[in-house]
Structure 1
Amino acid sequence: MKKAIYQSLIELSSNRINSFLLKSFTKSKMSKVINKSFVKVFNIDETEMEKPLHQYSSLQELFIRNLKEHARTIDPHPNSMVSPVDGILADVGKITEHCTFHVKSQDYSLTEMLGNPHRAEKYKEGTYIILYLSPSHYHRIHTPFTGTIVGRWALGNKSYPVNELGLRLGKKPLSRNYRLITEVKMSNNKHYSLVKVGAMNVNSIHPTHTKTEIIKGDEMAYFTFGSTVILLFEKDTIQLEEKIKAPIDVKVGMKIGSITK
């Protein structure tokens, strides 16, 4: 019961008024009283936190916490692709010739995801990776490859559930959620897009990287409420590690694949 209540504070609800109230409480100093219990319920490792638990003044501040400087190791090989988040690599597959991909028993249009057919065209026959972040996870997003940012744009003005239940039962939740997309050109002149999908009823994505050049492992943004990240790659851009079989737990900096030459 307690876990379900705490999860609702982070993933919010389908009711906009309820979401507003939950969001307000989560950001208030009153919510600090449940921080210790939240950490215990979700088995969060306090030794990784940048600050001692008692220094987080609200549940929101705890949720968007930074980690200690060396809590995550970024795989150093220049051709490696690393996980951009702590989370569950929930699905991976090929972007079909019809420009759709399959997520939790639903098909999603690549054009809807990226906003127009021109952007979607380059990713035909490419690869998608979906990563789901639960309340237990560190909620900052990093870059999987070094490269040059060639585009940033936002889409959507509504948010719907992005947790597993929402993906399974919702009506195209990913295509309707507010999302921020960053497109990056890599050293092999191929592109990937990192799609950050916000929680329901609140635009909860906060960019932190403003430069054009980005180094593998750099922080790009953070989520203030429940969230999902989708990576989209051009054809013949990456080769996944053989051990990566969805679903699998991943952490920032963990090698999940390699860039192709």
Structure 2
Amino acid sequence: MSIRRLPPLLFPATARHTATVIFVHGLGDTGHGWSDAVENWRRRQRLEEVKFILPHAPTIPITCNWGMRMPGWYDIVSLDGNSEALRQNEDEAGIMLSQAYFHGLIQQEIDSGIPADRIVLGGFSQGGAVSIFSGLTAKWKLAGIAALSSYLLLSSKFSELVPQPEFNKETPVAMFHGDSDPVVKTELGQLSYKMLKAQGYNVSLKLYPNMGHSACPEELDDVEAFLTERLPALGGEQEKSEL
């Protein structure tokens, strides 16, 4: 299946490039929609060694929007506020296509010299969902996964799709969710968290009071803290280790 893709929006590291964050937007958005957040995360100069990659989803028909074409990482059949709606009739082919794309982006970073354990994959809504799925099914151990207002894709068969051995069983998965989300229901985020926890994954969940399907300053600060923890600056450590 051939899909036309635009090249991602890139924010080069402001110091020596030692780490990469791939952050994925939600349905109907583009990578540009999260450029302000990236600037926010970089404002305190704690992530100077981090390159940010903001991919753009291909334009595809979205069933729940009467088949209108818009940027999407996979099709959604129903979006009616029911916590089970997103888990029914999932677009497995579209999900797997996006998984392959993100695995390709990770491989490109590895080929350029960035170790997998210095790469974080994350995103919002659809982007967060495909980040959890792509990250936990990756064949490299990543530094972390950050998922905002998201859920576990293909949950009924997820364990069958994880490679063996599992490279990311212990990789920190930080989930963030509004407690008043009418789109990706809070209950679905909580259910996904519980399912991953029950399967032994290193997952956390933080809820934000009175927040709907959006992001708030506190949440963005928490994501920055997670990125800083998972991708600490190396300074001259690599050069010294190579001497």
Q: TM-score, normalised by structure 2?
A: 0.26
Q: TM-score, normalised by structure 1?
A: 0.24
Q: Does 1 or 2 have the higher relative contact order (CA < 8 Å, sep 6+)?
A: 1
Higher helix share: 2
Higher strand share: 1
